[in-house]
Every structure is written in structure tokens, then in C-alpha cells.
Structure 1
């Protein structure tokens, strides 16, 4: 068709594709113009409508932020809440100008936007600015006083309605533009399918014409290959074609492939011959001799040596086991063995590489025959591998050079040779093991006879064991009875523990009740407001107050220990600021350090988390106990507090159940008297000290470390100790971070500053702030004219509280039980607050509070429960019975007055 001139398949295909590309290019240009137009419309919808919605939402958000800031200012009177209002009062106009520019092509929407602007300006002018000015002029006005008379909510709802109308119109316009785009896309799709149909038909026609010019020639080549395949291995014939294109190139490449295949067939034939010659060989010497001879014959080698791997103790050798064409004298036999890495043979075994030497010196080796001798031209050293380990090395010498075909042949042979050598070695090892097995079998027969004798002895032993089993069954029954007795004893112990807990709670009440009077009266005497005491008498009162506080701490320690042992002490997890811990402790112990003239230093390690989740109160209690002990037993030197994260390995060994990278380590190190090693275990026992004699130098009950150890365990941690007598001690608390969900956190009260909230029962007096100077808080309070009813059956407490309250200008009325309290309330409804004791005759405090709350007149009267019991459930019971708040005896007057101020000002 195209004559003798070379007209390649590529050119034919390229011409066909060129025509298709031209058609596609024309179609693409037409489609691209249409798509560009649609894309411009789409971009306008996306960018314009998005910008309009964004600016609309921004203006509305600013108005809402202004209204929120205004509300915050009216609620608190704090000018910082007006910042969002003042900022957005100017910023919304910028967004308005941008939005007005975006809708410049829509006069109706501009009118709606102008209406929104007028509404916002009217709201600011008529509602916001008057409210702000009114609050600034009279800050005491409440939110309700100002906001109930203002029409701001109506105006703000109108602004929201206008925004909603504006957005609804914009959505409708966007929908119209989208429908227009849909129609354009539909037109484009129809046009595109039409063009694709035309291009497809033209492409099929061109492909048919080109394929005819190519397939005809390919069929000729196919018929030639089929005829070649039917020759049953005959590969002497070659393919001949008369076309002048790539098919001719294919035929020539096929002929080259046939020649290569002929060489491969020869190579596979020789490999088969070598493998066949090695079949059935059962020793390495015969294997090496046979393989070396056959390989030398195939490769045209005139000399060969075969080495196998041998390990002696810790050294590996390559040992000669066979040779080919070697003379009998020692020099010609070659080296008998090489260490791995020694010589070229040893190096080939070490590096697993083939060495092919072509420039061989004349004195290297002599290849001899009956007619003479000559030096080889090539030396080939080849390692044999099995499972990536060299097990043999072959060295061949030839008078000619080894060709690439020889190298390929030897590589193919080596792939099989390693397996054959390993198989022979395994067979030799199996034969050796078989011989050893025969010897062992004979020994086993002898041992079997001995076992028969032993079985008879075992039979006698079994009879003895049966007798012992019967005896063991009897003992088991006795143990079962003992187990039942122990379980009964455990129940009695649990009941005894409950009795002890109740006893300690009652004893706490009995001790705290008189202690309450002692502490309050001693505090009043120590303050000496009436200036009736001498300085010496005032010091006596301070000593009495200090001793009372020490007694209170002892009561608390005993009660805490009882709670821990009874399992009734719970933890309350919250975020603790670790970085503030040293400053808090320094504030409490700097004075102690100064008085004892010792250094108190603190250290915060790097990369500490600011917030650590645990029970902060219990952590402080443990550290205070450790620091108190350190200062007590240190007279010279220092006390050092260090806060750091525990090393993960140490944390994993101490606290296996905790996350090793989330364990806090707080250590207290001192240079005190130290603890002898034989008394380390005693210091954590309750009521025990290292110096346990009656005339010991240091005071204390010995409860601090015992309680600290139990509290640490309750927090999931532990306490370790290192100490040397006369040098000092180091106590380290390890505590892991805890999950917030593990704690039953109870919200004790709401902020007293929320002036419009309903009274919240349950404020914890221990959370109230106390002035550093005990008199400062009471001097600033104004209780004059207030009437307080004190309900307590203990005349000492009534006397004490009456004196303390009357010193503050409070009128005090006393009742000695709940029934008398109810009668006094009916007679004097002007009473402002009730201080209610719990344990009283006739009617206790719980019943009295319930009766008061049932009277609608006293539904919101503040009632503060006073109790000397300190168990956890006592507080909840008081609040459920109707108490507004709770405080335990002995009373801290500063806390009591702070609590009274909260409820008297509500």
C-alpha cells in the first residue's frame, strides 16, 4: 500500500491520533468558552452571595454582642462588660458600608438595608444610651429596675425581623441565579454529547483503516511463530519477513530470542547432568570429588579444589575434602584448611563474593600432564550458600579465560549445590544419630527392667499415699470448721469497727462541745477589746486558745484515722495549681523556720503541668504533716521541699496501675536527727514514733505519718522514706493524676455576688475567706440592729456565743431545745437568723429545722446548723433537714461571722 518506503506503525498511529486530537481541540475550545461563561456566573453567585450573608451575619452578631455587653454591665456594674458594646457601636457601620456596596445593583435590598440601619441607630439612641447613662448615674439600680421600663427588647426583636426579611430576599435571588445556571449546564451537556458522538464515529473509521495496514503484517509473523512452535523443539529455523516497519524489528528480536533460548537449553542440560551425577552420594568426600570433576569438565578447567565449612569451638574453618587433577606431593595439594577471612578462600567465605582472577602469576600453580606443565590464565573462587550461610568454597583454575556463559552456568549450579551439600550433611548426621539411637535403645531396655522394679515400689507407696489422703480429708473438714469460725470472727470485727467509728464520732461531739466554749472565750479574752485584762492575763488567754487548737487537731487526727480505717473517707478530685503549692506552704512555715533559725527552701522542677487533678485538700494535709515533722526534728541546717514529675520507670515500679508519665513526686528533705533503720517500719504505725519512750524529747501522738500514708493510698499513691540517723530524712509522696469522674463533687454554694439569685442552701463555712487579722473582719461588719436566736442545750455554749455576738452589736435570744425555739419564733417573728445546735433534749435540731421550714413565714429564714459531730454524712443530713448552712464545732468566730454576713445580706 505504501510501497518500499519505510512507513512505521508509530507514524501511522500518530497520524490517526493527530486527526482525533484536532477534532477534540475544536470541541474543547467550544466547550471551554461555554464553561468559562458558566464558571463566571457561578463564581459571582458563590462570592457575592457568601459575602452578603457573611456581612449580614456579622452586623447581626455585633448587635447581639452589644446587647450582651449591655446586660453584663447592668448585672454587675463593671465597666469592662461595656467593652463589646462600645467596640461594636462603631464597627458595625464598616460592615454596613461593605454590605451596601455589595448590593449596589439591587435598589430594593438597599432600601431594606437602610431600614435596618435606621432601626439599629434608633435602638442605640433610644434604648442603649439612656440605659448606660442611667446605670452610670445611679449604680445601685438593679437590672430589673432599669430593664423593665425599657423597650429595648421590642426594638431588638424588630431588628432581628428585618435581618430575617433581608436574608430571605437574598436567598430567593440566589435561587433564581442557580436555576439559570442549571439551564446553562443542561445546554452544555447536550452539546458535549453531540460532539463526542461525532468525534467517536470519526475515530472508529480511522482506527479501522490503520488496523488493516498493521494487522495484515502481524498475521504473517504469527503464522511464522506457529510453524516454529510445531517443530517440537527445533530452533534452527529463523523468522523472515519482507515488510519495512516495526514488524521487521519484531522478527529480528524474535530471532535473537531464539538464539538466547538455544543457549539456555544448553545451560539447563549441563546443570541437569551435574545434578544427576550427584544423586545418591552419601558422603562429602565423594560429593566434592564428583562435583569438582564434573564442573571442571563443563567449564574447561584443568584444576580444582573443594572446601567445606567446619566449626571447631568458636573458630570457623574451610577444610579441603576433594581435588581435581592434583599431583601427589604436598606442594601441589594446596592448603588443607583456611580460617574464615584468611586467604582468598577464607575471604570468599566471609564476604560471600566470587573472586575471578585473570592476571595469574607464573609461580601461582602448575597444571601438569604427561607431556609437560603450564601456568593457568584464570582462577575462579566461588562460595556455596545455604540459608544465607556459606557451607562450601570451590576453587577452579583454567588455561583459558572463564566466559560470561561459564559464570552464569556456575551461578545456576550453585543454587542447587547448597541444598545438595546440606542434604548430604544432614544424611551423615542422621546416620550418626541413628547409631547413637541404637545405643540409647539398648540402654532404655536396661532402664525398663529397672522401672519394673520401681513400679512395684510405687505400688506400695500409693497405698501409703491413700492412707495419707484419708487423713488429709479429715484435716480438710477441720479446716472448713475453722474457716466458718474465722468468718464469724470477721463479722464481729466489722461490727466492732462500726462501734468504734460511732464511739469516736460521739466522743468527738462530747469533746468539741466544751472545747467550743474554751476556744471562743479564750479568743475573746486574748483580743481584749474591752481592755479589762492585763498583758499577762491576755497571754494566759492566748496560751489557753493555742492549747485548745492543739487539742482540736488531735481530735481531728483521731477522727480522720477512724474514717480511713472504716473506709468512709472520700476524696474530691479537682484541678490543683501545682505551681502555687510552694508559695502556699511557705506562707504557713516561713515563720516556723524563722523561729527555729533553719533554712526553708522550695524547688519547682521544669516541665511541670500547671493543673494536676487530685484532692488538693488531702495533698495539702499530707505535705503539711511531712513539713511539720521535718521542722519538729530539725535543729540545724535546712528543710527543702521539691515538686517534680516522677521518672516513668520509677513510677511504673511504685504504682503499676497508674500512668507512668503522669505521677507527681513531692519530696521533703531535712537535716534533722534522722531515723535508725531498725525503726523505719514503725514510724508509719499509728501512735508510734521512732523515740517511743515515756521520756522522749519530742511530743506528738504519732498519727501524722500514719494518716498521711493512708491518705496517699486513698489517692492511688504512696509515700517512701530514706533516712540516716544523725544526717537527716527524705519523705517523698508519689501521687498519680486522677479522673474527674471519680469524685462526687458537691457544689457548696453559689457566688454571693449574684444579687438576684434565690438563696442556695449548703454553703460550706470552711470555703469562706478569713481575714489575716482576726479582728479586722468583725470590725468592718455591721451587725447592729440584728436579732439572732441561739438554740443550744449547753449553757456554756449559750453564754460563750451570746458574749461573742453581743460584742458585735447583735441582740441575742436563747433557747435550750427545739420546742422552745419554735415557741420563741412564734412570739418574735422579727428574728433575722437562727444558730441551731443539733444534739438537744426534748426536740433535736433536725426536727426543729424541719418544723421551721414547714411554716411559710420562715421558708427563707437563714438557719446555720452548729454541731460538734464531724462525720461526712452529718453535713448532708443538716442541709436536707432545712439548714441554710453548716459549721462544725469548735467554732471559728471569723468563719462564723463571715457566714452570718453572707446570709444576713441576702
Structure 2
């Protein structure tokens, strides 16, 4: 690897991603430029056309004010009627000049505007002023004859109106032309996006093919090699890889493993062949010859000898019983005792010796052409019952390898038992020959000895088979170990991918929550103001439209919350808060919440609680009530006639889990459409209902029952369904009372929360720090809201600074606050906010958005608190990205309170009132 630069897989993948990212950056820059151009055109249409129409209407209004004032004065003679006339007469020319400048790019429209100006001046000069002067001089009769004599002058204002209508119609045509041009640019942008997407896909596919092609080939070769090892296949093949990356390392490691396996196979097969050579041998001499010949053959020894012990104790000596390629001039030493020479020392120490670099005067190895000097010497003891029973000596022209040494050790392990067995058989034969003349009793004893010898032979065979089995199991275990290691690596990689996917999903849901809730905030505020403000001049039908828009926006908000709740449960990041639940108040709360729904649909609604149900129940109250409300809402939705009931009993038959005081059984029964048997499992899946017809007729997202089931599991309970199509349904909830929360052996444990987990958003942190929590009933919060409405002058004259980069939110909040007679100033980011605070000294309250460009809300609040002059101004943080820890972050940064979007006007006014009072 020194000749070429290493280009690893990580580098290849990083390079591929870098190319893709560069393509995406170029695409984003191109799209951004196009969007900026379209945004400029859009802003022109909005700002220019709205101002033109506004000034047109204002001039027309001022003309009408002059006409009304002139007529009122002529009829009554009261000088107060001339006040709007005089004010309009002095102001309309200023608006006319502004409008004339705005349409400087359109000479035809300027010409129409000049005609309107001439008509206005003519009406003022020849109609309005003369008639007013005659009225002041008391010439009432002259006034009547004045208008009868010249009726065209009395219709001057009507002509001006007609001219304004023509002017506005022409301007609307220009607006439509600009909008059509903007649509064409949008179509071009879409086409460009598709082309860029196709290009990025092609580049990504090419990079993926290149990188995967460099990996898959070697991985397949590794898999084939591992399969060969696990199935006793050919392990002599090696993997050749030309790349200089981790795949090369994998191939080298696999080749090393194959070498080890091949070496072990050779060792096992060689050991088996050596053992097979001397099987069935009946004499020590033949046994020694066969053993030394087999060992010398596989170790490539050039000479060797085997010495077997004779005698016991201090008289024991080792006699040569076999030789391989013995020197022609000498047969070597015939015998030795313990401690004599190296071979005697080896027997005494009971250890194997290998001696390399033998001296030149060492005994020569003879061949037909001459004698050669051996290079290496190996001496190995043969053990039986922890005693040296024989010694093996080998000489070689080459150094003995570790494989040769392992082979010698393997063969000598069982050879001792064979020597002892042969010696015993020889002893038996000798005894048989000596006992031919002995009695039948001695002959029987001889037969017994023969039987024992056979048993020993069988034991020897069994030991050999056991040894082979152990070796085979060792090989299989090593193969499985390699497979397990590979599987472990794959599982770790998949775990990393799943963790990365989960993080991406969480970030996506957090961003989508922010993007959806920001425009939804403006929709809810403005529609609520239109629906509830009867003094805005809207018709009853328009007010109904506003209420429908507000209701639809609220439904969309509930859907967003349901999806985030479901994702929170699926991610295992939902935290349970166990506390006391007052069961005595539960029936009345449910009746108040759903009684109006039953009356509206003409259904009988019954809530029954048995007397033995304890008043105090320990669970997560919020999730518990949400389960009941979802089940009851589902029952009312699918019931057209009949009844809906809720029955609460103390369950005595259900086996309580560890840590549960008791169990409750809550049954929600209805006489609705029912659910087919084959759909019982389907309805608990997310975004599923019984069938397509149900979805079309009753609507809904199919999330309610799915969320209910997940919440029930988290509370340690169970949810059962009994239903048949056309006969109604009964949902039965079994839930334990857990004073200490879920135990370690509960069905599902709540995992620790993560700050990056979007599922912790929305509901848990929606209320501000000093806000009273709202319920479906009339609460303290609503009473405070009523008191605020009664004191309409409370906010009058107060100054509020709105800091938000979204013009829709600024418009909605500004409109709502100005309706309360408040002074409103706005800033689009933190930098503008600080500049305005430097110029304004009487700001009573700041409404601060968090996610803004240039300078976000956190940094802005810190700088405000660091400025002693404005440090005491109350700041209410407003944000659409309501994460679990955002409240704490806002309070630490300097916020006085915290409200998540979409806002409720009453809630906002309540919090503002508290902080303005405490200022």
C-alpha cells in the first residue's frame, strides 16, 4: 500500500455526498434567485396595487364627505356640517398627488385621473362653493332655482363616481396581467425544479453504482469463503483485491482467516493419517516404525527415531524401537536414561524441544550421493497418564514450522495410549503362551484379560472418535464465531442507520410543526376576530364563513397534535406523569363535555359509576381523560340514533399487576353502525377506518383509536373491542391504579425525553408560566377573560412592540391589539427591535417571536435584559416551534412568560393584562 495513495470507502462515500451536496447547493441558489425575482414581483403587486386602490377609495370618500357636508349645510344651515367639507377639501389634493405619482408608469391612467381632478375642481368651483355662499347669505330661493336651472351640476359627484369606477376597473385589469405574469414565472420555476431533480438523481445513481460496485464484489467473495469454511468446502482459494481501501483490509483479513482454517484442516487430516497408519499394529517394533515414518513424512523430516520406555522407576530406560532414514554408518544411540543428553533431559522435563542452527559436527544424514548436515532438531515426549512413555526425535534439513510442531503435539497426545495398549496386548500374548499348560481356570483368567484388552481397544477407538468430534466442533465453533461477528457488525450498522433515521424524522416533524403552525396562527386569530366582532360590518353569512374558517383551522391544529402524539409514542419518548385523579367528579365532567353533542344528535347519553369505585385513582390524568374523550367522540361520530353510554366499575376479576392498588373497567357502548369482525384489528392502526365508505360518510383521520391504544399500553392497561356490523360497538378499557407509577415489569416503560424529540412539543408546553390551565368547562381563566372584556378601557393607550419576521402574524396581532385601542409598533428581527427600544421610552410590553433571521428571540431578550433602561419591560415569548425545553430556554434568556402558537386572543389578553398590571 506504500506505492499508491489509500482511497477508503469513507472517502469515496464522502466524495459522492460532496458531489451531490454541490449539485443541491447550485440547484438551491438557482431556485432561490428565481424565487427572489418572483417575490419582488409579488411584493410590487401587493404594495403598489393595494395603495392605488386605497388612495382611490380615499379620494372618492373625501368627495362624498364634501358633498354630504354641502348638502347638510344647505338643508339645515348648521355650520358644523361644513367641517367634513372643509377637511376633505384641504386633504383630497394631497392624496391625489400621491396617487398620480404611483401611476406614473401608466399615462392613460394619469389622463383619467386628471379628468377626475378637473371634474372635482369644477364641482367645487361652480356648484359647492356658490351654493354654500348663497345659503350663508340666506338666499334659499336662489339656491332652489340655481339647481333647477343647471341640473348637470347637481350630477357632478355622480359623474366623478363613475370615473372612479372606470379607473378602478382598469387598475384591476393591470393587476390581473401582473398576476398572470407571476403564474408564468411559477410554471418556469416548477419545470426548472424537475430538471434539477432529474440531474441530481442521475448523479446520485452514478455515484451509488460506482461505490457499491467497489464493495459488493469483495463482500461476495468474502461470503463465499465464509460459506466454504462453514460447509467444509474449498478453503485454498484466496481473494484478490486491487483497491486501496477497507475492502482490501477485509480481503486480507479473510485470506488470513482462510490460511488459519487451511492450516487447521491440514493439521487435522495429517493427524488422522498418521493415526490410521499404525491402527491395528500388534508389536512395539512395527508400531514405532509406522509412527516415525508417518510423522517424518508430514513434517518433512530427513531423519528420526522413536524411543519407548522399558522398566519402571529408577531402572527405566528408553530403547530405540523405530528409525527413519538412519545414517548409513551408524544407527545412532540405541538407548538412554532420564537426564542423559538432550533427549534424556526432554524426557525428564516432559516438554518439547526445538533446536535450530545445529553445529557442523552433528551426525550427518546419508544419501546415495553423500552426507548432509541437518539444520533443525525436534525432540518431543510421548505422555501417558502424566508419565513419559516414549520420546520422539526428528532431524530436518529445513527449520521446523509451527504447523510441524502442532502436528507432533497432536499425534503424541494419543500415541501414548496406543503404546500402552500395544504393550498390554503383547503382555497378554506372552502370558497366553506361558499359560498353555495351566488349568482351565487360568485359561478363563486369560480370556478375561483378552476381554479387558478389547475393551481398552474400544476405549482407544472411542477416544480417537471423541478427539475427532472435538476438533470438528472447534472448527464449526470458529466458523459460527466469524458469522456472529459479521452479523454483529451488520446489526451495529443498521442500528446507526435507524438512529440517524429517527433523528431525521424528529427534525422533520419539528420543522413541519413550525411551518404549519406559523400560518395557522394568523388564520385562527383573524377568523376568530371576524366571527366574534359583531361591529365589523360583516353580514351574518360572512360571520358564519369566518366561524367555519376558524373551526377548520382548529381541526387542522388538532390533527397536527394527533400526528405528533403518535410519533412521540412510536419513538418511545412519551413521558407519563402519574398523579391523583378525582373519580367522583369524572361523570359530571363527561356529561358537561358531551351532553350538548347528544342533544344535538338526539341520542340518549348515560354516564354511570358504581358506588364501590374509589374516589381517588392514580394514573396520568391527561392521557386517561384523552382516552375516554376519544372513545366517546368515536361513539358519537358513528351513532345516528339510539344511545351512547359510559359505565365505570371496579374490576375484581382482572389479575392486578405488581404495584397496582386496584383496576378499573370502563365500558363505552353505542348503538351505531358497528364494526365487522375482520376489521377489529385494522381500526387500531394509524390512518385507518373500517372501510372506504366509512371514511367518506363520517370523515376523520383514523388516528384517534391508534393513539388511544398506545396510551393504554403506556398506562399499563388493556383495550378490548366487542362489535358486530349493524349492532353497535363496546370498547372496554382495563386500567390499573398505580400510586408509584409504572413498575419495572410493566408492559411498556416510558423512556427518557430528548431535547431534539419533536413529539414532546405542542400540548405539554402550550400554556404560559402564569396562565391558568383551560378545560372544557367554565374555568377561572374564562372568568378572568370575561373580566378583561368588561374592562374595555384597560389596554387603551398602552404601547406594545411586536417583534416577528412573519408579516401575516404581525398583521393579525396588530389588528387585534389596535381593536383594543393600543398603540402598536413592529420590528421584523431582533436588531430592529433593539433600535426601536433605543428610540422609544414608553413601551409597556414586548411580544417576541423566537425563530427570526439576523438576530433570534433568545439573543434579543438577553440584550434587552442587559440594558438597564429597558430591562424591566415585560416580554412574552411567542413561537410556533414549541419544543419540550423551549419554555425553560425562553425564561432563562429573559422572557417574562411563554405562549405557543397558534395563539388564542383571550389567552393572550389575559397574560398581557397580568404582566401590564405587575409592571
TM-score bracket relative to the smaller structure: 0.3 to 0.5
Q: Which has the larger radius of gyration?
A: 1
Q: Normalised by the size of structure 2, how large is the TM-score?
A: 0.44
